[in-house]
Amino acid sequence: MAKPRRSNDWGFPRWRGYGSSREATTVRLCDRHGCEEPGDCPAPKAPNSPDRWYFCQKHAAEYNSKWDYFEGLEKAEAEERARNERRDNAGYAEASHYGWAGSGDGSRSADEMRALDALELEANADFAAIKRAWREKAKTVHPDVKPGDKEAAAEFQKLQLAYEVLKAAEARREWQG
């Protein structure tokens, strides 16, 4: 009878990860030609097919961007499927009220939120809506429209400052990518 080999872990199993083995793990590479990243994102090769491609995240996103969910359907069938998708997902939109959404989601700073309040906009307003609201409000209280009116001048300065804060934040977001 052969004598069992001793382990090299010196009796300290925590030197290895829990549940780890000593064998090399097999890593499937991305199926995209020339890519050396791990292919851990399965994607169907064809609709209703069990065959899968295995892409890295970058190539999976590229593959999915070209995927047409409604391909091969007639217009009425596509509209019906889209209507069912909206109906089934409507509950999630309603439930977003109870989650971390809106002003508390961390996407805007307190200064940005105050600037949005000054322009009387919602927390999720895009920059085009911000610019539109600023122009509309600034036109009514501009010093050229109301010369000598100190309240209008103060309101215009407040709107101008709010717009500058939001413009700088938008530029920062675009720069960060």
**Is 120 a member of any domain?**
yes
**Is 76 a member of any domain?**
yes
Alpha-carbon gap, residue 26 to 168, rounded angstroms: 48
Q: pLDDT tens digits, residue range 130-166?
A: 999 999 999 999 989 899 999 999 999 999 999 999 9
Together in a domain, 130 and 172: yes
Together in a domain, 57 and 77: no
Long-range contacts of the stretch 126-130 (C-beta < 8 A, 24+): 127/166, 127/167, 127/170, 130/163, 130/166, 130/170
Q: Where residue 153 sits, what CATH number does that domain have?
A: 1.10.287.110
Domains: count for the chain: 3
Tokens read off for 81: 């499927």
Range of the domain at 35: 25-65
Q: pLDDT tens digits, residue range 109-118?
A: 888 888 999 9
- Of the three residues 65, 90, 119, the one that is the final residue of a domain is 65
- Per-position DSSP letters for 31-46, written without gaps between them: SSTT--SB--EEEESS
Tokens read off for 173: 């977001």
Together in a domain, 92 and 119: no
Together in a domain, 133 and 156: yes
**Is 171 a member of any domain?**
yes
Going by pLDDT thresholds of 50, 70 and 90, the confidence category of residue 102 is: very low
Please tell me the pTM assigned to this model: 0.42
Together in a domain, 40 and 57: yes
Together in a domain, 86 and 142: no
Together in a domain, 95 and 113: no
Together in a domain, 111 and 171: yes
